[in-house]
Amino acid sequence: MNAPRPLLLVGGGGLAREVLAAVRLLPALWRPVGALDDDPARHGADLDGLPVLGGTDLVRSTDAAVVVCVANAHRPLGRLNVVARLGLPEDRWATVVHPAASVAVGAEVGPGTVLLAGVVVTAPLRLGAHVVAMPHVLITHDDEVGDGVTFAGRASLGGSVRVGEGAYLGQGSAVREGVSIGAGAVVGMGSVVLADVPAGEVWAGNPARRLREGNGS
């Protein structure tokens, strides 16, 4: 049996704690060795027993696997920006699937993606790289999920939904079958999306309507 691979978490906030909890349920796969955060105030902090070692520049001092634990509705493209800045080869990115997630046989989960407890992927499909699906997210048949998408807890997609790169779907949001969510768009918590959401816009409500342009960063 291969030894568990050393793992670095990028980010020192709440999502990093949740990913760490999932990783600790997968001891045969991962051995978390520390977190990295570019906020100097976090350096030396204790993240549920894992040390925050320093800034992300340290990522090149090791060959440990890396997972980016950054998600913010105000900066929906933030995780992909971190990934691009780090510039690591694909084989450095860790894919973390909580043992209580249900992923259909034949589904492909991209590098750097995190699926937390209760996530259900009902049929074979491909999830992009660096996707984060928080607890109890539902992804159904023929959905297309681009790189860097964030699903907050209990977000759900009907069939044949297309979600563009870096979009953010808020907690408890629901998307009707056949609808498209554009790249970098944000869907507010509890929203019911019945129509296409253009790239870069912020929509909320039931039914969801456009609120404003997002900043996308």
- Is the model's pLDDT at 216 over the cut of 90? no
What mean pLDDT do residues 193-216 have?
91
What mean pLDDT do residues 51-76 have?
96
pLDDT of residue 213: 72
- Is the model's pLDDT at 126 over the cut of 80? yes
Per-residue confidence band for 1, with pLDDT thresholds at 50, 70 and 90 = low
Please state, in angstroms and rounded to a whole number, the distance separating the CA atoms of residues 56 and 64: 13
What mean pLDDT do residues 38-52 have?
94
Note if 74 is an active site residue. Answer: no
Please state, in angstroms and rounded to a whole number, the distance separating the CA atoms of residues 152 and 29: 25
Cα 136 to chain centroid, rounded? 13
pLDDT of residue 206: 97
The DSSP secondary structure of 161-188, one letter per residue, reads -EE-TT-EE-TT-EE-TT-EE-TT-EE-
pLDDT of residue 214: 62
pLDDT of residue 72: 95
pLDDT of residue 14: 95
What mean pLDDT do residues 83-109 have?
98
Q: Which of 95, 98, 88 is nearest to 67 (CA)?
A: 95
Per-residue confidence band for 217, with pLDDT thresholds at 50, 70 and 90 = low
pLDDT of residue 2: 85
Please state, in angstroms and rounded to a whole number, the distance separating the CA atoms of residues 68 and 147: 13
What mean pLDDT do residues 104-129 have?
98
pLDDT of residue 171: 98
pLDDT tens for residues 136-150?
999 999 999 999 999
Return phi, psi of residue 17, to 5°.
-65, -40
What mean pLDDT do residues 89-117 have?
98
Per-residue confidence band for 203, with pLDDT thresholds at 50, 70 and 90 = very high
The one-letter code for the residue type at 151 is F
Looking at the chain, the whole-number percentage of residues with pLDDT higher than 70 is: 98
Per-residue confidence band for 46, with pLDDT thresholds at 50, 70 and 90 = very high
pLDDT tens for residues 156-177?
999 999 999 999 999 999 999 9
Task: Kindly report the average pLDDT of the chain as a whole number.
Answer: 96
